[in-house]
Amino acid sequence: MKMIKEFAGKTVLVVGIAKSGYAAASLLHKLGAHVIVNDKVKLDGNLLAQQLAATGMEVVCGSHPLELLERDVAMIVKNPGIPYTNPIVAEAVRRNLPVVTEVELAYLVSEAPFVGITGSNGKTTTTTLLFEMLREGQKQPLIAGNIGTVACEVAQEATADNVIVTELSSFQLMGIQAFHPHIAILLNLFEAHLDYHGTKEEYGRAKAQLFTNQTPNDYSVVNADDADVMRLAERSHGRLVLFSTRQSLPDGACIQDGALYFRGERVMALEEIALPGQHNLENILAAMSAAKLLGVSNEAIAAVLRTFTGVKHRLQYIGTVEQRKFYNDSKATNILATQKALSAFTQPVILLAGGLDRGNEFDDLLPYLGHVKALVTFGQTAPKLMRTAAEAGIKTIKRVDTLEQAVPEAYALSDEGDVILLSPACASWDQFKTFEDRGDMFIQAVHKLV
């Protein structure tokens, strides 16, 4: 870890604790900053705030008082989930105070280079795949960000011999200034998080922050099949490395003659790949591109792809009950993810969907519902999903209050050979803290059927 001096003696305000705020405050304290930690949850019962206070940090809980900005604050580190419309954040921006997320701190102290991975869908799968390829190739990777450990904790342990593979959200990328990945991967762009960003254009602008500080010595790995991604990639000063499932790319990654190719070199046959789903080929090509750029052999890449079957909560096979197969795709927090999940199956599907209402309709699901024989819906978006299902001609549509109720209902509606798929097409925050909690609840409910 680089023991940088730029925060020594300066006042830094950390807004929002959770995992990232706790890690950021602890690191800044170590670097000699005067840290003020501010969280909307009251101190009583706020275990993380109590732990930070016990180290001597100043902790202000219960609200976000604007008076904190009068304390000669040099910088604000905010939790990614706190929007810029939050009064204290908005006022900080108005005063031209730097507002960053903890991944910025991670970059500043890291001795290791970064690979940054973003996109509307496939981030976790691509991040995990690349990590496994690098590990198989003896490249000493570390994994951080939305998957694994908070980036600024990982960065403290990293050396120049490591490479930090980081999954990054648009929320995190809005809060960077110097962050500079040696390899930036942009997978796709779909209309998502509009409750936070307002428009797809603003959402895309946040994603494109990944390219901001790249130089001609860096690489930008981008999806040649996504027109929005290609437009955003024009902002990059890195060397473009394209991947495509549809086109032949002699200088990039593509599919030819039933095999994966990188820069004209055959890597492995498609039939050897264990990970299901046509959509995962994009994730595979992106991860393979970065792995090859970092010197991983074809043999190491193939060894991973022959055994890797997916990550938890992303088309995760749970098991078979009375010849019905159950899949957990709780990480499908938007429509595109659910489209891809439905495209992975040809057999009849009982779809479990619903969650936080972000204001969108679900018409874009219509072309993918042809083999859905029943919908079981829950959460705030249930009425909208019911309308879409009716328009699609789905004859059996059931609404329940909770996911726990949805599982036995779906089982009762199913026949042998059916797939019972949780792919909500919505964020989880109306009923769950995280999509992981939602997926775990689904798994538990499935196990109760046995």
State whether 108 and 179 are in the same domain.
Answer: yes
State whether 183 and 214 are in the same domain.
Answer: yes
Last residue of a domain, one of 66, 100, 134: 100
In a domain, 338, yes or no: yes
Last residue of a domain, one of 305, 329, 345: 305
State whether 359 and 423 are in the same domain.
Answer: yes
- Residue 194 has a pLDDT of 60
In a domain, 136, yes or no: yes
Cα separation, 81 vs 50, in Å, equals: 21
* Token reading at 373: 């024989």
Cα separation, 163 vs 346, in Å, equals: 39
State whether 282 and 142 are in the same domain.
Answer: yes
Tell me if 123 is assigned to a ligand binding site: yes
Q: Which residues, 6 or more positions from 44, have their beta carbon under 8 angstroms from its beta carbon?
A: none
State whether 60 and 192 are in the same domain.
Answer: no
Q: Containing domain of residue 301, as a range?
A: 104-305
In a domain, 326, yes or no: yes
> CATH no. for residue 423?
3.90.190.20
> CATH no. for residue 75?
3.40.50.720
- Long-range contacts, 243-246 (Cβ 8 Å, 24+): 243/282, 243/285, 243/286, 243/289, 244/285, 245/278, 245/281, 245/282, 245/285
Tell me if 338 is assigned to a ligand binding site: no
> CATH no. for residue 157?
3.40.1190.10
The conformation of residue 34, written as its DSSP 8-state character, comes to E
In a domain, 217, yes or no: yes
State whether 404 and 439 are in the same domain.
Answer: yes
State whether 116 and 230 are in the same domain.
Answer: yes
- Residue 340 has a pLDDT of 87
Q: Please state the φ and ψ torsions of residue 32, each to the nearest 5 degrees.
A: 90, 10
Tell me if 120 is assigned to a ligand binding site: yes
State whether 115 and 152 are in the same domain.
Answer: yes
Q: DSSP of 365-429, one letter per residue?
A: GGGG-TTEEEEEE-STTHHHHHHHHHHTT-SEEEE-SSHHHHHHHHHHH--TT-EEEE--SS-ST
Tell me if 162 is assigned to a ligand binding site: no
Nearest Cα residue to 103 out of 165, 145, 156: 145
In a domain, 252, yes or no: yes
In a domain, 1, yes or no: no
- Residue 381 has a pLDDT of 97
- Residue 327 has a pLDDT of 94
Tell me if 56 is assigned to a ligand binding site: no
pTM for the complete prediction? 0.80
In a domain, 5, yes or no: no
Last residue of a domain, one of 60, 80, 100: 100
Q: Which residue shows structure tokens 């027109």?
A: 227
Q: What is the widest separation between alpha-carbon atoms in the chain? A: 67
State whether 92 and 144 are in the same domain.
Answer: no
Report the C-alpha dihedral over residues 289, 293, 298, 303, rounded to 10 degrees: -70
Tell me if 124 is assigned to a ligand binding site: yes
State whether 322 and 417 are in the same domain.
Answer: yes
Report the C-alpha dihedral over residues 42, 45, 47, 52, rounded to 10 degrees: 40
State whether 354 and 416 are in the same domain.
Answer: yes
Work out how many domains the chain is built from and give that number.
3
- Residue 192 has a pLDDT of 60
State whether 115 and 185 are in the same domain.
Answer: yes
In a domain, 311, yes or no: no
**Per-residue confidence in pLDDT tens, the chain, 450 aa:** 999 999 999 999 999 998 999 999 999 999 999 999 999 999 998 999 999 999 999 999 999 999 999 999 999 999 998 999 999 999 999 999 999 999 999 999 999 999 999 998 889 899 999 999 999 999 999 999 877 789 999 999 999 999 999 999 988 999 999 999 999 999 999 766 666 656 888 888 999 999 999 999 999 999 999 999 999 999 999 999 999 999 999 999 999 999 999 999 999 999 999 987 788 999 999 999 999 999 999 999 999 999 998 888 888 888 999 999 999 999 999 998 899 899 989 899 999 999 999 899 999 999 999 999 999 999 999 999 999 999 999 999 999 999 999 999 999 999 999 999 999 999 999 999 999 999 999 999 999 997
